[in-house]
Amino acid sequence: MPSYLHIFDTVLFVLLGLSVAYIFLFSLFSIREGTVKYSKSSKNYKFAVFIPAYKEDNVIEECVNYLLSQNYPREYFEIIIIADSMSDDVLLRLSKLPIAVIIPKFERSSKAAALKCAVERIAFEFDIAVVLDADNVVENNFLRDIADAFDNGIEAVQAHRVAKNTDTSVAILDACSEEINNAIFRKGQVALGFSANLIGSGMAFKYSWFKDNVKKLETAGEDKELERLLCKDRIFVDFLNNTYVYDQKVRKSSSFYSQRRRWIASQVGILTRSVGEFPHALLSGNFDYCNKIFQWSQPPRVIILGFVGLMTCLTTVFYIENSVKWWILMLLIGFTFAFGIPDRLVDKKFKKAVGKVPLLGLMMFANLFRIRGVNKQFIHTKH
């Protein structure tokens, strides 16, 4: 192998190897049993359940009905719908339910704008703020589990979001991606003493903190912004592994593309804002924040898989003596994914869906070149 190719091979291996080692480590620790089971809360906490709903006429009523069946005293939680651009028929039906409906008028719609609007208009004080998406449904112990965690001193939690539908190949892969993320960036993180990543819904915060900090949200990546603010305030985010939130998965490649484009843009945006704070975080011992900044610097997993796969093939064909290390990385990626994907998702439909991975990988790669300005835009995911 020529020296310049050897240098390229070595540098790329080190960079990708670092990324693979990171996700493998946390995925490995995610298989350990060790989820904290909190004791029952000694009091009833007052919840504000915020549901931003932009053109969500088809799913919002199901979400509300599940919440109304909570195994929690009804007088202790308020369901607050921020109904943006929804039909009059749906608004009329919602008005007949025991919930609060806020109808905002935005020049530019966004989830952050909806949450800001709700906090400004609600006059009552609460103990806990919960954020759900309009397509989410929750089990009847959802609020009770969160109350138990907060009663034991936790100030922020992320529930276990799982797929509500696996009716297309793209939805299956989206569901698998969600579970891999749960393993690496939530359960694995908490197992090693770091905060769980937020995912935009199924999350809860101490209300006073949320009320003060939601006003600081500026981009379409509100979950990343909240993570950054929590880390700077040294607030630990726990992962409620056994508290499920069922989320609608995207069904089409085009929706997947748009959604991931927004996600990549928000990650690049938050990295740009945070990377300069890494030295101070390190010197002050804020290792949770250091870990988050490192996460935001990493490429999407499917792109890592694509490059490692490509280098494995090329070195096997042209420079077989250099291929062993790449095969080891491929093996580690395989284990990383295997640890995260639950058995219930591995069936005949899953095997068929795997064939779409190369296409989705190329779409993700293309997204890297189309993120300019996206972090300031609101891209609605169609269901």
Per-residue confidence (pLDDT) for residue 169, from 0 to 100: 85
For residue 313, the one-letter residue type is C
Among 339, 330, 301, 332, CA closest to 28: 339
Higher pLDDT, residue 320 or 190: 190
Predicted pLDDT at 367: 62
SS3 314: helix
Closest to 23 in 3D by CA, of 302, 333, 363, 312: 333
The tokens 């039909």 sit on which residue?
A: 87
Percent of the chain with pLDDT over 70: 91
The larger pLDDT score, comparing residue 318 to residue 159, is at: 159
Q: Which of 56-70, 288-302, 307-321, 338-352 has the lowest mean pLDDT?
A: 338-352
pLDDT digits (tens, 9 = 90+) for 179-215: 999 999 999 999 999 999 999 999 999 999 999 999 9
Quick one: pLDDT at residue 29? Answer: 94
Per-residue pLDDT, 183: 96
> Given a cut of 80, is residue 134 above it in pLDDT?
yes
| Dihedral angle sign, alpha carbons of residues 16, 22, 26, 29 | positive
Cβ neighbours for 282, distance < 8 A, ≥ 6 positions apart: 290
Region 258-281: mean pLDDT is 88
Identify the weakest region by mean pLDDT among 18-27, 31-40, 162-171, 339-348.
31-40
pLDDT at residue 36, rounded to an integer: 73
- The predicted model scores a pTM of 0.90
3-class secondary-structure state, position 197: coil
Tally of residues, the chain: 383
Q: Fill in the DSSP letter of residue 204.
A: E
Q: Which residues contact 341 (CB under 8 A, 6 or more apart)?
A: 176, 179, 180
pLDDT at res. 369: 62
Confidence band for 303, pLDDT divided at 50, 70 and 90:
confident
Supply the mean pLDDT for the chain.
89
Contact 354, 185 (CB under 8 A): no
Domains of the chain: 3-32+271-375 (no CATH), 47-252 (3.90.550.10)
What H or E segment, with its residue span, contains residue 247?
A: strand 238-247
